[in-house]
Structure 1
Amino acid sequence: MEKWYVAAKKADFDKWAKEFHISPVTARILRNRDLTEESQIQKFLYGKLEDCYSPWLLKDMDRAVEEILKAVKEGLHIRVIGDYDVDGICSSYILTKGFQMLGAQVDTAIPHRIHDGYGLNEHLIEEAKREGVGMIVTCDNGIAAAPQIELANSLGMRVIVTDHHEVPYIEENGERKEQLPPALAVVDPKRSDCSYPFQGICGGVVALKVIQAITEKTGNPGLINIQDELLEFAALSTVCDVMELKDENRILVKEGLKRIQKGYNEGLKALMEVNDIAPDRLSAYHLGFVLGPCLNATGRLDTAKRALELLQSFTRADAMTAARELKDLNESRKNLTVQGIQRADEYILEHHMTEDKVMVIYLPEVHESIAGIIAGKVREKYHHPVFILTKGEDGVKGSGRSIEAYHMYDAMTQVKQFFTKYGGHKLAAGLSMREENIEPLRIALNKNCTLTEDDFIPRVHIDVAMPMGYADEALAGELALLEPFGTGNPKPLFAQKNLIFQAGFKMGANKTCARFRVKTPEGAIQTLVFFGDLERLGAFLNEKYGIGSEETLYAGRGNFPLSVVYQVGQNTYKGRTEVQYIMQNYC
């Protein structure tokens, strides 16, 4: 069961349509993306790199550039320390490549997920000191590493922090006081004293801004020549770190995709080739759901250094070898994830977990690195807040994924006595705890939970209620102006009532998708494609119209009225492009 809502935001859609040479339908979609000013629409539709913000608007950027250039001039050994996810890998690549172009003595360290944990730790600091490092530059981490940075300072190393995460704070007399780490410079758009106009950039973009600032300061020709390649990685970071595709993020991803298509980086080219992605068909989807997971898989099941080595490959042969390894590793991760989801389903049934508002699922044998992925999949299926707990090297570790109505971090704070360590935000969290506290945690979370049955009903937000016949080739082509789609800019959703489903045909190697012939209330015959759960659709038809209805539909004798939420796209096959209607929801 779902709740459908049609957006009802107001604006002068005819005026926008005339001014920007778009249809009123597209104008309405733009308003649904919270755009209200004509300057915002202009930037959304036609924004260029020149419309992005100056790196110098980031607080401490001037100090960071000064200290980095000073270290390079002095010949200090600089170490870039990133993180093991795609954003950390890409931001590490951006800074390392940029410093190399300056002629710096530079290398990179990326923490091991299991042995080191997230971000800076004492082990990495002490190792850097032993190996003669004079300056550490963090990326995608460091804002919460005050003790580790104090240690580095005491050992005579200089530290620059570049990050995009929330700044730690304490509350005194009802006021938040930020606790910045004691680095020479702290570049983070989330600082309250930072005047950067858009906080929602990822670590890779912060790293890119650092290199852009150094480029402007020095005019270094080597840095100028690699700007396009670095933009590729900022775009990849933005999508894979699930940043909202708004404001300058949208421009960076749009322009970054163009540069990835041109193939500046041997590693990315090889990764596209082994995944059968044609450069001219590349989209944000491929970044987030094909290339990104391959890079992420190394940090989950092995070491993220392998992903960095792929991106730093000099020859096509080396790149192809590394890309195949990453693809194979991702296939292993997928198989482990499928097994983990199956075990989670079994656990839910065995423990009557659907009766709980908050699902706390203990799967000791599951690899801790995929707990978050499994939690997300279970959350999607049951639309409940979910914690997946696994057995780690030092007790129980876990990841949580939440629904919109449940602030996960606040809920965990109420029961923090059960954790040895925890952190996160509204929709996602991580934790460590002792095994004997799992059941008390489950009881406490559910006792405190104020969610109602209504909160467990998924919500579908429809952009425009519109007959399929209105979605012609012109509109389908126009909607391409709204790409890239993703978080903060989803593909537009349309809806029409009382489509008569007359016939169906299952497609694909495993017959897991289908094409349906439908008759509209206006009398037109249209084709709907469905990539969702066919078993669930069949059960729905049999329940609503009687046993055997599914079989009747696939036999071509259907007469079943359904209301449908659909997307409009373009499908090119054998050189011919036509409008494609994709069913997303039905009732």
Structure 2
Amino acid sequence: MAWRVREEPTLNSGLRPEDLAKTFQLPLWVATVLHHRMKHWGDHSLEAVKRFLEPSLKNLPDPFSLPDMDRGADRLAEAIVEGQKIGIYGDYDVDGTVGAAVLRRFLRRLGNDPVIYQPDRQKEGYGINAGAIEKLAEQGIQLLIAVDCGITSVKEVALANELGLDVIICDHHEPKEELPPAYAVLDHKRADNESTIQSLSGAGVAFYLCIAVRSVLRDIGHFDAENGGQPEPDVRELLDLVALATVADMVPLVDENRTLLAAGMDRMRKKPCVGLRELLRVTGVDPSEVSTYHLGFLLGPRINASGRLGTANAALELLSTDDPAEAKRLAEALDSVNLERMRLQGEVAEEALAQAAAQLEKYGKDLPAFVLSSDTWHEGVIGIVASKVTERYHRPVAIVTFATMVGKGKGSVRGVGSLDMTKALEDSAEFLGTFGGHKAAAGLSVTRENLEPFRASFAEAIGNQVSALYEGTRVLLRDVLADVILVNEEELTNKAVEAIERLGPFGMGNSEPTLLITGWKLAGTRTMKEKHLKIQLTTSQNKSLEGFWANGVGKAEITEGGHIDIVCLPQINTFRNQSKLELKIKDIRAHID
């Protein structure tokens, strides 16, 4: 694997790592990591660094800067004041489910219990559908709010208008050239969005709508005691849910998302809603110790499992209820569904990884991307399996199943690094039915006869992106790791490792730092669960240290007793009140002088 020590960027503010270290009391190598991150920011000032290191809700952008927010907030406030019947149409994944719960909890605090509609993943598929609109109209819905969907539903929204429903869309997917004829279209990816709001989840957009509606209700005196007003809802109570959607939907953890996540995790650690508290209980996580890992890999999959294997209603009810007994029952039910999801996922993953290995054998190790398919794979787990394949082979993958629709496959796409999956699908559009999503993840439909042409086109599109990124050379993606920062043993103190946590939470758009340590001795290795490695190291100062390499078995040719170079992230591991420094290993090679 090729490693590259990062070159020091030049910032337009002239700030250097030494300046950051002095101003914010950071170890120099931590300040160097931060300095490298700043090159991607538009603002390179000390004030911007302070906002990054000390995220605060007071720094959130004005929700009314988003196009149509004034119309959407006014219309929803009107529906609340007049007691109109409100419907919420939420997508079946974590983001849509959480977004629907955010709106539901907010509206219930204001005395309006909305009607909820979530489509069945296999029977109805993604997005607003005409049948659902007709059902909601029959129930007397006057205002419909779509969460995490709707931005491309031009015909369906037109039908809603014909049936007397006003529609507010809270979405964050890429719009087409024609926007739906909704009363308000709230999506920061609109071409006319000139605000600083650029990367929210669907639940985040719904949360901003709640803030804006509360502001409108304040202005009209809805909460005034002398007018018999009702108590004003505290929107901060919704932040634990917003944090979950922010991590689970893999939106960039920068700008407002960083602020929402930090505040939401603080809320979750201190006073989570009843549903999240019970979900943490069944996963064995102490709320006070919750991390982005727990949100993304323990809570998110359990919320998703409901929608993946059936309907998402149980998850939505869990996140909406204030009844401890009901929350306990629903959390345990979701945990059981998740076990079935894991079983199915394991079966599909085994077959998909075997297909990927066969494609490398057939097309060569430089194959830029995979397209894997089956007639039997369960649609509800192909997205998770796609992530597993990209993790193993570090290249984009499209996983397609023909189990749901006759003659047409539904696919889930996952990317790596800065590669753009929606751009790759656009380049292959002639072979696809429908497609859409984000830069890192997308969905598609494809006919059986177009599967092989799509396979070739998708690989070519990814290959072209790789060539552009790596200066015209179609370098194998697995051979490129994010640039590393060289550190000395003396710099790896507990205090420095604690300081690196100030740069978190880590995730999409704010990845974990990658440090390079050279010349340490490999004292021993131990295989764990047949795929992980526990590694004993002897440092250059003859100290003993341990490292853990997830899925590290077979990834490097290393010899016990030899000297190695390590790409890693140092961490503090606390067990029984004893703390020690350990390494989270990302790659190893034989030492190069």
TM over 0.5: yes
Structure 1 window deviating more from structure 2 (325-334 vs 251-260): it is: 325-334
Aligned position for 1:294:
302
Aligned position for 1:163:
171
Aligned position for 1:251:
259
Match of 1:580 among 582, 585, 590: 582
Q: In structure 2, how many angstroms separate the alpha carbons of the residues matched to 1:261 and 1:298?
A: 24
Aligned position for 1:176:
none
1:25–1:224: structure 2 CA closer, same or farther, 3 Å change rule? farther
Given that residues 7 and 461 in structure 1 are in contact (C-alpha distance below 8 angstroms), is that contact kept between their aligned partners in structure 2?
A: no
Matched, 1:202 2:201: yes
Q: In structure 2, how many angstroms separate the alpha carbons of the residues matched to 1:255 and 1:189?
A: 21
Q: In structure 2, how many angstroms separate the alpha carbons of the residues matched to 1:282 and 1:218?
A: 34
1:102-501 correspondence runs (5 A): 102-169=110-177, 179-219=178-218, 220=223, 224-350=232-358, 352-355=361-364, 356-391=367-402, 392-394=404-406, 395-404=408-417, 407-445=420-458, 450=464, 453-501=474-522
Q: CA deviation at 1:26?
A: 1.8
Q: Tell me which amino acid in the other structure corresponds to 2:196.
A: P
Q: In structure 1, how many angstroms separate the alpha carbons of the residues matched to 2:179 and 2:378?
A: 34
1:27–1:444: structure 2 CA closer, same or farther, 3 Å change rule? closer
TM-score between both structures, scaled by the size of structure 2: 0.88
Q: CA deviation at 1:566?
A: 1.5
1:211–1:410: structure 2 CA closer, same or farther, 3 Å change rule? closer
1:120–1:244: structure 2 CA closer, same or farther, 3 Å change rule? same
1:526–1:200: structure 2 CA closer, same or farther, 3 Å change rule? same
Q: CA deviation at 1:570?
A: 1.3
Q: In structure 2, how many angstroms separate the alpha carbons of the residues matched to 1:466 and 1:146?
A: 54
Aligned position for 1:555:
none
Q: CA deviation at 1:561?
A: 0.9
Given that residues 73 and 212 in structure 2 are in contact (C-alpha distance below 8 angstroms), is that contact kept between their aligned partners in structure 1?
A: yes
Given that residues 570 and 583 in structure 2 are in contact (C-alpha distance below 8 angstroms), is that contact kept between their aligned partners in structure 1?
A: yes
Given that residues 493 and 565 in structure 1 are in contact (C-alpha distance below 8 angstroms), is that contact kept between their aligned partners in structure 2?
A: yes
Q: CA deviation at 1:148?
A: 0.7
Deviations 1:279-311 (CA, angstroms, capped at 9, x unpaired): 121111111111011101111111111100111
Q: Tell me which amino acid in the other structure corresponds to 2:539.
A: T
Q: In structure 2, how many angstroms separate the alpha carbons of the residues matched to 1:498 and 1:70?
A: 68
Deviations 1:201-257 (CA, angstroms, capped at 9, x unpaired): 111111111111222222448674442321111111111111111112111111111
Q: CA deviation at 1:357?
A: 4.1
Q: In structure 1, how many angstroms separate the alpha carbons of the residues matched to 2:261 and 2:422?
A: 30
Q: CA deviation at 1:350?
A: 5.0
Q: CA deviation at 1:403?
A: 4.2
Structure 1 window deviating more from structure 2 (16-25 vs 286-295): it is: 16-25
Given that residues 274 and 327 in structure 1 are in contact (C-alpha distance below 8 angstroms), is that contact kept between their aligned partners in structure 2?
A: yes
Given that residues 545 and 581 in structure 2 are in contact (C-alpha distance below 8 angstroms), is that contact kept between their aligned partners in structure 1?
A: no
Deviations 1:55-74 (CA, angstroms, capped at 9, x unpaired): 22222222112111222333
Matched, 1:535 2:535: no
Match of 1:24 among 8, 28, 34: 28
Aligned position for 1:562:
564
Q: In structure 2, how many angstroms separate the alpha carbons of the residues matched to 1:406 and 1:486?
A: 16
Deviations 1:398-420 (CA, angstroms, capped at 9, x unpaired): 12233457644444444433323
Q: CA deviation at 1:514?
A: 4.5
Structure 1 window deviating more from structure 2 (51-60 vs 146-155): it is: 51-60
Given that residues 22 and 478 in structure 1 are in contact (C-alpha distance below 8 angstroms), is that contact kept between their aligned partners in structure 2?
A: yes
Aligned position for 1:9:
9
1:164–1:500: structure 2 CA closer, same or farther, 3 Å change rule? same
Q: In structure 2, how many angstroms separate the alpha carbons of the residues matched to 1:95 and 1:466?
A: 47
Aligned position for 2:226:
none
Q: Secondary structure at the match of 2:481?
A: strand
Q: Tell me which amino acid in the other structure corresponds to 1:438.
A: L
Q: Tell me which amino acid in the other structure corresponds to 2:6.
A: V
TM-score between both structures, scaled by the size of structure 1: 0.89
Given that residues 462 and 565 in structure 1 are in contact (C-alpha distance below 8 angstroms), is that contact kept between their aligned partners in structure 2?
A: no
Q: In structure 1, how many angstroms separate the alpha carbons of the residues matched to 2:349 and 2:100?
A: 32
Q: CA deviation at 1:524?
A: 2.9
Matched, 1:524 2:523: no
Aligned position for 1:40:
48
1:402–1:239: structure 2 CA closer, same or farther, 3 Å change rule? closer
> How many equivalent pairs are there?
559
Q: In structure 1, how many angstroms separate the alpha carbons of the residues matched to 2:288 and 2:460?
A: 53
Q: In structure 2, how many angstroms separate the alpha carbons of the residues matched to 1:39 and 1:26?
A: 18
Q: CA deviation at 1:7?
A: 4.6
Q: Secondary structure at the match of 2:434?
A: strand
In the alignment, structure 2 segments of 5+ residues that lack a partner are: 224-228, 468-472
1:144–1:570: structure 2 CA closer, same or farther, 3 Å change rule? same
